[in-house]
Amino acid sequence: MKLQDLDVIVTAPPAPGWGGRYWILVKLTTDTGLVGWGECYTASIGPEAMRHVIKDVFARHMQGENPENIERMFRRAYSSGFTQRPDLTVMGAFSGLEIACWDILGKDRDRPVYALLGGVMNERIRAYTYLYPLPHHDMTAFWTSPEMAAEAAADCVARGYTAVKFDPAGPYTMRGGHMPAMSDISQSIAFCKAIRAAVGDKADLLFGTHGQFTTAGAIRLGKAIEPYAPLWFEEPVPPDNTAEMAKVANAVAIPIATGERLTTKAEFAPVLRSGAATILQPALGRAGGIWEMKKVAAMAEVYNAQLAPHLYAGPVEWAANIHLGVSIPNLLMAETIETPFHDRLIKSSIKVEDGFIRAPTVAGLGIDVDEELARAHPYRGDGLHLQMQEDPCDYVNGNTFEGGAPSIKD
């Protein structure tokens, strides 16, 4: 069996657009007719340029190869071009293609992917969700309203979720770390207070940031929200500086989480060695794929650290996250995005039930991709999947920031 053909589909989720501006799906076909699906996450170049990168990585390192030889193909992609170091774009391309290889292997053996990774460790996976506006909420006001966030959190708990994530602490900018405005700290406290009051001890609070603070600023903010006992303080400083993140971890009594922007074991290892974080959040469509993150999970065990796979993408990457999570002992939870488009794209083949995801039993990734639906929603914009804000933090008027891919308003 050999990898023969590649197709790349860039699909844009319709309004409100949760999951980013576009998702890059890859479809691999073998010379035996088996089809595997993967997803490349949040490329830092535009989708058309990324399409060419994916095709080059496939043709150069994978086409004509047995899909079993994942280690060999990884080493080619990781090392060729005189690199042998993490390259976010190349590894993002390889990651989606690697996920598709596992889908093919599972289908060839008539077994779920996790069965090829050591079998079932977790029969079901704890899911968490970001807080999104409810139908009656104002889509603009929601992001600065503790009251609306608390109402959304209570709704999540009513649906079975035991953890909710939110990030009210202001903008992430291309300028690097900044000191939070006092109004950002006050707003963060108000969000934590309102949400904790709404959910009590029924759900964990997951406090998100996006690497936007200086070390001192992150410590100030972390200390301010400590009384509400968040389960994690996510990426409090830019993720390339593990020594500074470790200073935050040592100063704040909230577990530090990081990893959505990291790729390969080479970038996750320093996080573990330095004590910068005890919760790793790999995005499997950029981090090196399923096999590479299986290795990272094993490394994390040694440091008594856990994994909580990240998702701000489509349901194909989510399916890969689930299979990894089923197979590892140090899983904490997995991010989930529930929208009609996510659900329709995989024809409801994997679902959240009462806040948990059961291990799929169908061969491969266990998903049935609606290719026609994916092609019917092409991306026609010119923005990146997520984008940093250029304007600095506003210390006068406060900050209203919906994220790097603002919602699509009907």
In the predicted structure, residue 206 carries a pLDDT above the cut 90: yes
Mind listing the pLDDT tens digit for each residue in 96-131?
Answer: 999 999 999 999 999 999 999 999 999 999 999 999
Mind listing the pLDDT tens digit for each residue in 263-318?
Answer: 999 999 999 999 999 999 999 999 999 999 999 999 999 999 999 999 999 999 99
For 162-199, the three-class secondary structure string (H helix, E strand, C coil) is CEEEECCCCCCECCCCECCCHHHHHHHHHHHHHHHHHH
Mean pLDDT of the chain: 97
Strand partners, 357: 125
- The helix-helix angle for 290-302 and 88-109 (nearest 10°) equals 100
Between CA 96 and CA 94 the distance in angstroms is: 6
Q: What percent of the chain stands above pLDDT 70?
A: 100
Mind listing the pLDDT tens digit for each residue in 60-72?
Answer: 999 999 999 999 9
